[in-house]
Amino acid sequence: MLRLIRVVLCTSVILACGIQVGNSVEAPSLEAAMTSVENVITSQQPADALIATSSALFEWRGSPGYPDLAMRVIDAYRVLRPQVLAEEFMRRKELLAGQFCGFMCFDNGLMAYALGSYQEAGDAFQATTTDPAYTDNPFPLLMRAKALLHQAPTKREAERLAAAPAEILTPTEELFPPQRVTLQDAVQSYTAVIAAVTGTFDAASLFRVRHEQAVDLLEQGYVEEGVEKLKESRLSEYPLEQASALEELLLVAWDANDQQAVETYRQDLEILLPALQARQELPFEVRRLDRIKEVVERMRGVQVGNRPMRMAMDKESTNLRFVREDYQGVAARMLPWVQEYPIEQNGSWDQSFRETALTVHLFYHCSLQSLGRFAEAEAGLRGIVEAVTDSTPLSPVIQAWGWLANSVRDQGRIHEAQSAYELALTLDTDQAQEAVNKGLPVDCLQRYILRGIMPGWVRATHVANYECVVNALSFGEGGEGR
């Protein structure tokens, strides 16, 4: 019976894609295809989702925009209840057993990625490459490289491991040492993808792969390694890749207070900008060009002394300090802006930079919290949530409630922390009516929600902290305030 289901499913996918001799089907745009797939997945009908997702993955397998489709599928899976998603993943593994189907295997890898099961995801992406239908698609290998990097330690974790006492191995482990994924494993995988793409696929595909590698390394704290890759992209013959690398390098140089490099990158961007074009059928290129224009416009403002524009550059470049866990550096960079724009005056700030200024206050007090200055952080975070009285919740304010929960938790006030987490996670659903209408979970234990206000990874972090608090209370560890 399962074999029959597999045959019917693969046939349905091919027919849905219009892959027939003598049959010409006009494909929708990639953006339309991604929206359609998201809608089907979030309708919570597993059989329909399997056919729709696999169809789209098959149909768009030759497009440089394939990573956008893959990430949209992952994001759609994440808003489902994790237990439901895990059960569906196991069901599909059984469906695939003994009957290989590349695009279904890739879909399973995306589902595992959404669950945070990166080893399973990487294995599925690797298996996908044996399907002849993926001969002209390097992106399963790119997704495998991303899965490997998620399994490797971040830069700070690697430094802590190196400084820790030598691990004591059991006799069995001495004979068969545990295999751990390293940064080098991930980098070698990215390098293999780039080698496969170079000279074989179009410039847009090479741009996408090299961009993903550089940004992924930066996000894991490997700033020097990421910068090296950006400098390689700066030498690309593809103008949009050059400009994209320059924009990222400018932020790195700004963070390092290297004004000479900042000016060089700014001038190079100004030279490239007039002729820059994005392929409109590729959402990634459209986003990158919009981002480049935004940064160039911001730097023009900085050149003429626009203070909010300079504040925005400081705020954005500070993300690298958070990644490096340089909280003292974050505090030092944000403090002058906190003093220049007192939170009590937020109602009079111009709307063009108000959210940026609120985020600056958030970053400053988050850094104090991370430095162990809990009472100061608590006072500042309370100042944000009490001073900003907008009827529609703003992301920095919702995040401030989550960080306030962290602060009172670290001072032993567990019940108070629980209430603050619940408020933050509930406010995050203010714009999530579509999720409610679809019956998708939006409660405080759901790590990702459809159309949430906070960035998904921020909500996921607050939910993880909330779960720890709930567990502590269930074991009677109430601390103060019980």
Residue with the two structure tokens 């002058």:
336
Whether this prediction's pTM lies above 0.85 is answered by yes
Q: What is the mean pLDDT of the chain?
A: 90
pLDDT of 210 above 70: yes
User: What are 92's two structure tokens?
Assistant: 């599909």
Backbone angles phi, psi at 413, to 5 degrees: -100, 80
How does pLDDT run across 332-369, given as a tens digit for each residue?
999 999 999 999 999 999 999 999 999 999 999 999 99
* pLDDT of 477 higher than 90: no
pLDDT at 27: 52
Give one word for 449, left, alpha or beta, with left for phi > 0 and alpha for psi -120 to 50: beta
Phi/psi for 212 (5° steps) reads: -60, -45
In angstroms, what CA-CA distances link 25 with 13, 14, 252? 14, 12, 46
pLDDT in tens, 172-189: 555 555 568 999 999 999
* pLDDT, tens only, 253-311: 999 999 999 999 999 999 999 999 999 999 999 999 999 999 999 999 999 999 999 99
Query: What confidence score (pLDDT) does residue 23 get?
Result: 35
The CATH code of domain 1-152+182-200 reads 1.25.40
Specify whether the CB–CB gap between 225 and 188 falls below 8 A: no
